[in-house]
Structure formats: structure tokens, C-alpha cells
Amino acid sequence: MKLLKNVIRLSTGLSTGLSTGLSTGLSISVKAVAVISLMAVLPQAGYAAGGGAELEHFSPVRTDRALQRGARTFMNYCQGCHTADYQRYSRLAEDIGLSDAEMLENMVFTTDANGEQTKVGSLIGSNMSKEYAKTAFGVAPPNLALVSRSRGVDWLYTYMKSFYLDESRPLGANNTVYPNVGMPHVLADLQGWYKPVYHDDGEGHQVLDGFQQVTAGKLTADEYNSTISDLVSFLDYLGDPNREARHSLGIKVMLFLLLFLALAILLKKEYWKDVPHNN
């Protein structure tokens, strides 16, 4: 909001500046540069505020099997609180190789206003109301449909692996990527509990070395990593369901243009072959 106000002030300022003379105009353009450079650094500032932990690199997997497993984890463990309601169950089923019936049977756990199972053509919502979530967690769990775009897959992958035991927090969990997060460690039964291990870098900063297991979960560390890999691949899919189709169409368009270029060159040669060259 503040930024918006500044921009509005700037644009009114600019027009008055232009009419009141060069000197005011100049000072305003200094302001303009300041605001523009502020806009340029803001996204980074947002990430910096998300904690200083280093992010692990992650490449999403776009196979039906991986996305099916990721979607199942999402419906079982995330949808209780989060929605993803820019996407419909039926479209998801089609994209990850399931029939509508398989979708309804295995992944639709919510009910509609009449208390009946949510229809397959509905958006992927959550049964928890925003008001209830706000009282329970202090902050409403955000819609996760586009979170892979806003946070990036490296952030998501590292975030899901960075919950740790912290008795001082209301829900007993904290996160090195998102300090003092309002979300509990919902996958604790799978991952178990960990605590972070830090070392002092000699200049008074605590640097994260890694995590040490406190209690075991149902999965081994490798199995947990692959569950998170599928889950984040699914979130990546949700953020851009058309990517595969777009890329393959793009390649076809490039091939067509190349073919067209070859035809155009041949045609040009044909047209010009009878025109005498003067020099």
C-alpha cells in the first residue's frame, strides 16, 4: 500500500514538477529513480525476510506417477487447511492420467454445502473456513495454487524439509526457511522430528550445519525426500498446468517457421532466376 501511495504521489508530483519548472522536475526525477530502484530490490528483500537459510536446488518431475503421488499427499495432508481453487478435480484427473471415477474415489475428500461429496467438476477447495483457520493459526493458510510461482520450487522443497522441534512455538514447530511460521509440521508422522545444528562463523553469526534426528517417523530420510519431491512437483504443476503443452506447441511452431523459411527462400530463387543481373 505504502508503495502504491508513493507511486501515486510520484505521478501527481511529476505533473506538477513539469509545470513548476526544471529544478523541481529534477528533484522529482531523483525521487523517481529512488522509487524505481526500491521496486527493483523489493522482491529480493521479500526473500531475505523469509530467513537466511540456503535453499536446496530442486527440479520438478512431470510424470503421471509422480504427480499422482504428489496430488495424493496434497489431498491427504495439505487440503485440510489449504485450498488450490484455481484448478478443478476433473482437469487434474485428465492431466495426471486418472479417470473421473478414480479421482472421486481416491482424492476427493471434501463435501459441498449439502454435505455430499464434492463434484468432480468443482474447484479444489478446502472444508476449513478462513475465519476458523485464522482463529486456530493466527493467520489464514494461503491458497497454494500459485505458490510455486511466488516462492519458487527450491524454496518449497527446502521449506518442507526444514521444520524442526521448537517448544517455544505455539504449535511446537519452527522452520529454518520461514522463521516463526504459523503452520504446524503436518508431515511429522512421516518425517519424524529433527532439531537444527548450528556453528558459529567466528563473527557472531549462527550458520546452519544441518539437522539431527530426535524421533523417527514412518519414512526413512530417502523416502521422505522422494515424498517431498513428488509433492513439490505437484505444486509446480498446479502453478503452471499448461507448461508441457506450451513447450511442445512452441517446438512445432519453430519447426513450421523453419520449413516456411526454406520454402520462402526457394520461392524467392524461383522468382528472381529470370531477372537479369546488371552488375
Binding site for ligand HEC (CB under 6 A): 77-78, 80-82, 137, 139, 141-142, 144, 147, 150-151, 156, 159, 181-184, 186-187, 231
Nearer to ligand HEC, 120 or 235 (CB): 235
Cell of 201: 562463523
Nearer to ligand HEC, 13 or 141 (CB): 141
Nearer to ligand HEC, 32 or 146 (CB): 146
Distance, in Å, from the CA atom of 29 to the CA atom of 27, rounded to the nearest integer, reads 5
Nearer to ligand HEC, 76 or 213 (CB): 76
Residue 111 beta carbon to ligand HEC: minimum distance, rounded to whole angstroms: 17
Residue 150 beta carbon to ligand HEC: minimum distance, rounded to whole angstroms: 6
Q: What residues contact 214, with CB distance under 8 A and at least 6 apart?
A: 165, 192, 193, 194, 195
| Residue facing ligand HEC at closest CB distance | 78
Distance, in Å, from the CA atom of 274 to the CA atom of 279, rounded to the nearest integer, reads 15
Whether the CB-CB separation of 112 and 118 falls below 8 Å is answered with yes
Residue 240 beta carbon to ligand HEC: minimum distance, rounded to whole angstroms: 16
CA distances from 103 to 29, 68, 91, 100 (A): 57, 10, 10, 5
Residue 78 beta carbon to ligand HEC: minimum distance, rounded to whole angstroms: 3
